[in-house]
């Protein structure tokens, strides 16, 4: 069991396992075939309000992380779906943000790893 994150615009890897897009917005210019995802789980992404409030500002990271954890706590069914995928092998969370450190997939990965 492993959870990885990968930017939507990066090349796919044989080690990715199950690839799921976890953004609320579809990455520009990419097709489902190019992403090689099995699902798009918008429901596990941060709310539009939270996403716009954070706006990838590293100075608001801790605040964003806490608020996103609260949203995930309120969405146990979607979280369980991801945990089920992770229990079967490698799960790669696909995100579109440019920032490779301060992005919602990194927070989601931390959240899921608490339950594995």
The whole model's pTM is what?
Answer: 0.95
Examine the pLDDT at 112 and tell me if it is beyond 90. yes
From CA 37, how far away is CA 25, in angstroms rounded? 15
Read off the pLDDT of residues 34-85 as tens digits, 9 standing for 90 and up.
999 999 999 999 999 999 998 888 999 999 999 999 999 999 999 999 999 9
16 and 6 Cβ atoms separated by less than 8 Å: yes
Considering its fold, how many domains does the chain have in total? 1
Mean pLDDT of 6-18: 96
Size (the chain), residues = 116
89 φ, ψ to 5°? 150, -160
Band of residue 116 on the pLDDT scale cut at 50, 70, 90 = confident
Read off the pLDDT of residues 90-102 as tens digits, 9 standing for 90 and up.
999 999 999 999 9
The residue range of the domain holding 10 is 2-113
């Amino acid at each position: 069991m492993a959870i990885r994150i990968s930017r939507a615009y990066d090349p796919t890897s044989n080690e990715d396992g199950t690839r799921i897009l976890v953004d609320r917005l579809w990455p520009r210019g990419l097709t489902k075939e190019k992403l090689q995802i099995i699902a798009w789980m918008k429901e596990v992404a941060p709310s539009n309000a939270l996403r716009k409030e954070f706006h990838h500002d590293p100075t608001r990271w801790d605040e964003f992380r806490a608020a996103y954890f609260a949203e995930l706590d309120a969405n146990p069914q979607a979280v369980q779906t991801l945990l089920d995928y992770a229990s079967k092998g490698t799960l790669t969370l696909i995100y579109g943000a440019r920032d490779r450190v301060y992005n919602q997939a990194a927070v989601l990965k931390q959240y899921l790893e608490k339950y594995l």
